[in-house]
Amino acid sequence: MVVTGCGNTGGEKQDGESTAKGETIDIGVFNWAENIAAVNLWKLVLEEEGYDVKLIEGEKQPLFAAVASGDLDLACEVWLPNTDEPFAEKYKGNGWEVLEPWYEGTYLGLVVPEYVEIDSITELNANKDKYIVNGEPSIVGIDGGASLMRMTEEAIKSYDLDLRLIESSGPAMTATLKQSIEEKKPVVVTLWSPHWAFADFDLKYLEDPEGIYGEKEKIYPVGHEGFSEKYPTVTKWLNNWHMDDQSLGSLMSTINDAGDPAEGAKIWLEENRDLVNEWLEK
């Protein structure tokens, strides 16, 4: 699906200190809450500055490849040094231009409601019959191309878990989580921080003694090779872009409450104009 935004034409100067060229910037967006939030925010910001923006929806793996090939201009969320390292190893310096990180302190893993009595992945097998989905002990996952799914498959092997991994999507996973919590049922899902679910529900990560899911990371935007030369002003703005748990959490929560990413991002932008102006050096 392609969502097109229109902007005013302009002319970016050689020193990168002016308005947009009026060219289109194609940004990849995948179905993670913070990715949807960040991309829709930047769509609005760039359109206000005179750029035409298209959002190209898809799974992480093909979107990352599309940035490397030049079919997409930008992806806003690469987790390094661990989660997306296979992609960085393949594309960094070979199609990708990695910009400055905009968020620090990410984490991901297996998550359960706080009321669930287990605290470690090692306890799942002994309690597997409590985590039944569609008749089988299961971990509720997201889209198959996500690094989180790859890590969870590794965790299943490493911990010799007798649970299957269900491939679904971010929204489907959170819907299952919400329903289970409303019914006070045990459920185990693949989840990550930052995510609005941690603000809405009492959740906990299961301990990962083997370190399958790695340590806390940073989130980076990546452009195609030559992005900073083609879009020097946008590159400067993206390198100025920094969000913390409060600012990103409020953006995701506003979007979730609005029920529409574009509308929620617009509301948040109007309420946080000073922060965004810092990124734009206004």
The predicted-structure confidence for 18-36, as pLDDT tens digits, reads as follows 456 568 999 999 988 899 9
Q: Domain boundary residue among 181, 205, 229?
A: 205
| Calpha distance 143→31 (Å, rounded) | 8
| Calpha distance 82→92 (Å, rounded) | 14
Q: What is the average per-residue pLDDT within 91-110? A: 96
212 lies in some domain: no
Higher-pLDDT residue of 200 and 177 is 177
Beta strands in the chain (DSSP E): 2-5, 24-29, 52-57, 74-80, 96-98, 103-113, 132-133, 136-140, 164-166, 189-193, 203-205, 217-224
Q: How many domains does the chain have?
A: 2
pLDDT in tens, 197-229: 888 899 999 999 999 999 899 999 999 999 999
75 lies in some domain: yes
State whether 225 and 92 are in the same domain.
yes
pLDDT bucket at 87, cuts 50 / 70 / 90: very high
Looking at the predicted structure, is the pLDDT value of residue 4 above 80? no
State whether 91 and 111 are in the same domain.
no
Percent of the chain, pLDDT > 90? Answer: 82
| Calpha distance 72→25 (Å, rounded) | 8
State whether 226 and 98 are in the same domain.
yes
User: What are the residues whose beta carbons fall under 8 Å from the beta carbon of 253, sequence distance 6 or more?
Assistant: 196, 199, 200
Domain hosting 111: range is 106-205
pLDDT in tens, 220-279: 999 999 999 999 999 999 999 999 988 998 999 999 999 999 999 999 999 999 999 999
The DSSP 8-state label assigned to residue 209 in this structure reads T
User: How does strand 52-57 pair with strand 24-29?
Assistant: parallel
Tokens of 129: 């019959």
The DSSP 8-state label assigned to residue 104 in this structure reads E
State whether 229 and 97 are in the same domain.
yes
pLDDT of residue 23: 85
- Residue whose tokens read 């400055």: 100
State whether 95 and 225 are in the same domain.
yes
Q: Domain boundary residue among 205, 229, 253?
A: 205
pLDDT of residue 20: 62
Looking at the predicted structure, is the pLDDT value of residue 111 above 90? yes
Q: Residue 183, class by beta-carbon neighbours within 10 Å (0-12 exposed, 13-18 middle, 19+ buried)?
A: exposed
Looking at the predicted structure, is the pLDDT value of residue 5 above 60? no
Q: Domain boundary residue among 177, 205, 233?
A: 205
